[in-house]
Amino acid sequence: MAVTRDEVISWIKAYGQVITENKDYLTDLDSAIGDADHGANMHRGFLAVLAKLPAVEDKDIGTIFKTVGMALISTVGGAAGPLYGTFFIQAGTKLNGKMDLTLADWTAALDAGITGVVNIGKANVGDKTMVDALTPAIQALNGATGQELSMSDALKKSAKAAEEGMKGTIPLLAHKGRASYLGERSIGHQDPGATSSFLLLDTAANVWVNN
């Protein structure tokens, strides 16, 4: 089974709603170790994304992803704009001309997106960033492909791995971003970027559940 273009659009819209619902939560997480603006920034960015979607709803998935990325780069402040924007743009390069997504397509797109995030942010697993949620997610997807799991089951495994990675940031010492300025005071707090990354993949698993 494959995810259709319309289901991709439904995922993006659903994630925008999830960000709205979790805006204050993400800001609270960021207030402990950052600039207290991650929730507000992501909310503003996805309002811009939702405004851009009608113009590309009849386009291929690669174009949709790149449009999302450009909207985020142009509207989201702080590190989140370049990081999430790059994620979507790089993922979109693997989806040019595609009108649906197989598990292999999604795995390749996610891998490209994560590579883009790592390249621009220079973060590794263990640095207490969104990479700590995204990397286990792609590892789970790669494993699911080898096990010939359904798209739905693979997405659930990926989201579960992202959740574990997100929670795993709590005891970590931050090595990147504003949180790194806090030194040992960053320990004991969940990373907001890892949290919004988990929510992104969890929303995909929930919206694309029947594939």
Q: 111: closest CA among 97, 92, 128? A: 92
pTM: 0.94
Confirm if 181 and 123 have CB atoms less than 8 A apart: no
* Structure confidence at residue 211 (pLDDT): 55
Domains and CATH numbers, the chain: 3-207 (1.25.40.340)
164 burial (CB, 10 Å; 0-12 / 13-18 / 19+) is middle
Q: Cα–Cα distances in Å, from 161 out to 82, 128, 138, 164, 202?
A: 24, 15, 9, 5, 10
* Structure confidence at residue 96 (pLDDT): 97
Tell me the pairing of strands 3-4 and 100-101. Answer: antiparallel
Q: How far is Cα 157 from Cα 147, in angstroms, rounded to an integer?
A: 12
Confirm if 149 and 193 have CB atoms less than 8 A apart: no
Give the helix/strand (H/E) hosting 127: none
* Structure confidence at residue 121 (pLDDT): 86
Dump strand ranges (E) for 149-200.
none
- Output the average pLDDT for the chain: 92
86 burial (CB, 10 Å; 0-12 / 13-18 / 19+) is buried
Low-confidence ranges of the chain (pLDDT < 50): none
* Structure confidence at residue 69 (pLDDT): 97
